[in-house]
Structure 1
């Protein structure tokens, strides 16, 4: 019977609920209670409430600091240097005879302490390329964050549709229970008049209690899903909250354009690699800088004839040009070209998988439409049979067992119809989410 089918799914539902509760149990306190909540509004609440959203400002702050560091690297560098050395031989001119006209003997030990100042006049565009790489890296990181946050949509979809399905099943149980209650009242009158056996009345009462038990079980599952949804959204979602789904905005045979955040991520990754190639080019260009050095040394570092402790200073222009790097830059740029090809392949695979899923979804939708049409026909027939069975029960033509079996058959047909309707909604929502339209 349908009641057994529902009961058999409870362990899976309970496991799923425990998993979700464990996953979202740490998310913040409730902020608001909603009388009505749309699916797209729930997406926004989930994004705002999810802790990962805090990464956005952090990424911007890190990028800003990195840019400030690059700017400060263009400022002059000032280093304090101390140097002491002893050598086995040094300059010696003339003889040690004090009467010699020329006598210079530089000490074997020397000491220096000085300030070394360097200012980069031209770095070949390396700083400019580094800044561009930093801003592009920020775009890559932010887009990767958007890709990760997009996964929340799938979780919201699952919770919404599970709640709606369980609520529909609970409503159907209430309809069947109402029919049972009506016939219990009619049989009660017959029992009071002595025309109906007590056992016939008891069978209907048992079925009524079974339906009430199933209602309690379904309500427990609904409450658990609502609890998980509330934690995910950071808002109070109750049984009184009306959950609404968007109307399908596509023709089931029409192809949709893909507008997923992953596509921008691929583009930003390619852009970053291209900028890195420019950095290799800039690194090969000549570098021009000013330098100055001033301090005190023993003996005088600039005048070998002065062997006393002396102050000194010097300055000039320095040119650095890495003329030969043995093909390192060429190999690095070749590697970047291969990485760009990898990204192109990843994008192609991503879009191919979506297009493949599109065909599968449309085939399933067509099959569900056919099933739903048949379900409606079956429900209409089962409802008509139930009406006739109720009349036959009241007239004593059939017993309570026959009536309860028809109640179950009609309930099963309605549940099957609602299940397929929700499955269709699920496919439509997943289809729109897959293409980035939700």
Structure 2
């Protein structure tokens, strides 16, 4: 009854076990990574900056005033019959409200807005580059768990072989044709298998905890990881990494800066209206407080920027060349890594082929040893040696299979797929 209960609990644990994929873990890790919050902040900075820039075409209002006292004022000393011109007061007052409406700014607002937009895209792409690096860390942990799972499966196979040998030795000991020391030898090896399972399961739980930290999901020991299916593609120099997009955005930003230099040095036109109150008003011959206004169109063309415009454009051109060189270096290094991974994939495939041949031979040797053990031709130690040899061959195959999978995933990651 107790065995049935244990079996039911074991079965229910794995029957309803959570199954996850590498893509799911990568996506959740990206969503939970603290750096993802910076993308929203970059967007807010961009929106606020553009909103402030657009207000540059709203009417600009200014208010100014002054009160002065001067030692002398203009007087008219030419006598006119019947006309008495009162001299101006030495204390004078002025309060002026100025409204200025931009009509044409040479495209400055358009280029400044474009610069804020592209600059935000550059910062956003930098975040994408950092988030992409997260995949490498997730891949390493995920594949380590898969490797442990394969080791656990192989450990169970070894246990079955040892238990088979143990039953045969027990029968021989009971029949008086074998020493009990042979029986104890296999029992000791079974205990070592238990230790090995404890170590593997403990390491697996620790790695699942790491994935939990990255993703925010609760991965329990019964969580099953789906083995990725990755095709081994032929070598292709095409790279679609986020770094390529970053280089392109940086080049685009420099192009906008070049346009901004042109816009700054173009003429500006605006409409203005001034309303004032003071003494004297616009009529300087009337020594009294009066209201007045002046309106019209302003034209402004500052030539100071033309002195440095040529050099500023040269600097932008040099920066564009620097980015182009950085992109070439990145592509060279990336393609070098792709070549190395492709060579690694080809090598491991050949090793796996030899592993399978070795395992086939080891199985035959173990089966022969099994029969010899049953007939009492060899000792338990001899049988154990052959079981361990097959186990070692299978462990090597498992290692190579995971190395192949890792090399294939690395190839895709380096390529940007």
Q: Which residue of 2 is the match for residue 406 of structure 1?
A: 386
Contact 1:143–1:264 at 8 Å: present in 2 too?
yes
Residue 248 (1) aligns with residue 230 (2):
yes
Cα distance in 1 for partners of 2:99, 2:350 equals 82
1:276 aligned onto 2:257: yes
Shift, 1:280, TM fit: 0.9
Distance 1:256 1:172 in 2: 39
One of 95, 102, 120 as aligned partner of 1:120: 102
Residues 190/291 of structure 1: CA separation in 2 closer, same or farther (3 Å cut): same
Q: Partners of 2:203 and 2:27 in 1: how far apart?
A: 25
2:274 to 266, 271, 293: 293
Mapped to 2, the partners of 1:34 and 1:196 lie a distance apart of 45
1:147 deviation in Å? 1.9
* Match of residue 83 from structure 1: 66
Q: Note if contact 1:106-1:305 (Cα within 8 Å) is conserved in structure 2.
A: no
Gaps of 5+ in 2: 1-15, 78-82
State whether residues 300 and 311 of structure 1, in contact with CA within 8 Å, keep that contact through their aligned partners in structure 2. Answer: no
Q: 1:68 aligns with which of 39, 51, 54?
A: 51
How far has the Cα of 1:105 moved from its partner? 5.3
Counterparts of residues 13-412 of structure 1 (less than 5 Å): 35-85=18-68, 89-93=71-75, 104=87, 106-107=89-90, 110-252=92-234, 254-297=235-278, 299-300=279-280, 302-325=282-305, 327-412=307-392
Q: Secondary structure at the match of 2:75?
A: strand
Q: Work out whether residues 80 and 113 of structure 1, in 8 Å CA contact, stay in contact via their aligned partners in 2.
A: yes
Deviation by residue 1:207-239 (Cα, 9 ceiling, x = unmatched): 110111011000011111112223323334344
- Range with bigger deviation, 269-278 or 314-323: 314-323
Determine helix, strand or coil for the equivalent of 2:178: coil
Residues 301 and 401 of structure 1: CA distance in aligned 2, closer, same or farther (over 3 Å): farther
Structure 2 Cα separation of the partners of residues 102 and 49 of structure 1: 83
Q: Which residue of 1 aligns with 2:9?
A: none
The CA distance in 1 between the partners of 2:69 and 2:381, in whole Å, is 112
- The alpha-carbon distance between structure 1 residues 68 and 325, as it changes in their structure 2 partners (threshold 3 A), is closer
- Report SS of the residue matched to 1:212: helix
How far apart, in 2, do the equivalents of 1:103 and 1:143 lie? 73
Superposed CA deviations along residues 325-364 of structure 1, whole A, max 9, x for unmatched, are: 3521221111111111111111111111111111111111
- Structure 1 residue ranges without an equivalent (≥5): 1-32
Give the TM-score of the pair, scaled to structure 2.
0.87
Closer/same/farther in 2, CA of residues 34 and 172 from structure 1, 3 Å limit: closer
Q: Deviations over 1:148-169 (max 9, x none)?
A: 2212221221122101101111
CA-based RMSD: 2.5
Alignment match, 1:13: none
User: How far did 1:402 drift?
Assistant: 2.8
Q: Is the 8 A contact 1:34 1:237 kept in 2?
A: no
Rounded Cα–Cα distance in structure 1 between residues aligned with 2:415 and 2:161: 44
Cα distance in 2 for partners of 1:213, 1:247 equals 32
In 2: Cα distance, 1:86 partner to 1:217 partner: 95
Aligned counterparts of 1:267 and 1:248: Cα–Cα separation in 2 = 30
CA distance in 2, matches of 1:389, 1:249: 39
- C-alpha distance in structure 2 between counterparts of 1:54 and 1:154, whole Å: 20
Alignment of 1:428 onto 2:408: yes
Change (3 A) 1:425 1:90: farther
Q: 1:90 to 1:372 in 2, by over 3 A?
A: farther
TM-aligned CA deviation for residue 143 of structure 1: 2.4
Contact 1:34 1:236 in 2 (8 A): no
